[in-house]
């Protein structure tokens, strides 16, 4: 616990850690905004049939399953990995 307190006492490290946590928070909020025009039931049926896409959904943090607006920017990087 003492090391964590020491990390937050250094202003440069504290700012970097808070920035990363902020980016994670924004990502999770935007991951819940669905893409307009996509039928959620069809996406659920698609993912239930193909296990490979369920695995890809794991790496995207659930954005692929909901086809959220975050997937527009993150999708190309994830599909390159697979």
List, in order, residues 6 or more apart from 78 with CB less than 8 Å away. Answer: 56, 59, 60, 64
Q: Where are the domains of the chain?
A: 2-81
Query: How high is the pLDDT of residue 22?
Result: 93
Question: Got the DSSP string for 43-75?
Answer: HHHHHHH-HHHHHHHHHTTTHHHHTBTTHHHHH
**Which two three-digit tokens encode residue 33?**
């905004």
CB 70 within 8 A of CB 34: no
| pLDDT tens-place string over residues 17-73 | 999 999 889 888 887 787 788 887 887 788 778 888 888 777 776 667 777 777 776
Query: How high is the pLDDT of residue 21?
Result: 93
- Dist. CA 58–CA 53, nearest whole Å: 9
**Whether the predicted model's global pTM rises above the 0.75 cut:** no
> Is the pLDDT at 12 greater than 90, yes or no?
yes
């Amino acid at each position: 616990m003492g090391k964590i307190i020491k990390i937050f006492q250094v202003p440069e490290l504290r700012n970097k850690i808070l920035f990363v946590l902020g980016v994670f928070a924004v990502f999770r909020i935007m991951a819940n905004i669905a893409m307009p025009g996509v039928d959620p039931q069809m996406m659920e049926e698609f993912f239930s049939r193909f296990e490979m896409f369920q695995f890809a959904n794991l790496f995207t943090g659930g954005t692929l399953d909901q086809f959220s607006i975050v997937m527009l920017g993150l999708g190309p990087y994830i599909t390159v990995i697979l």
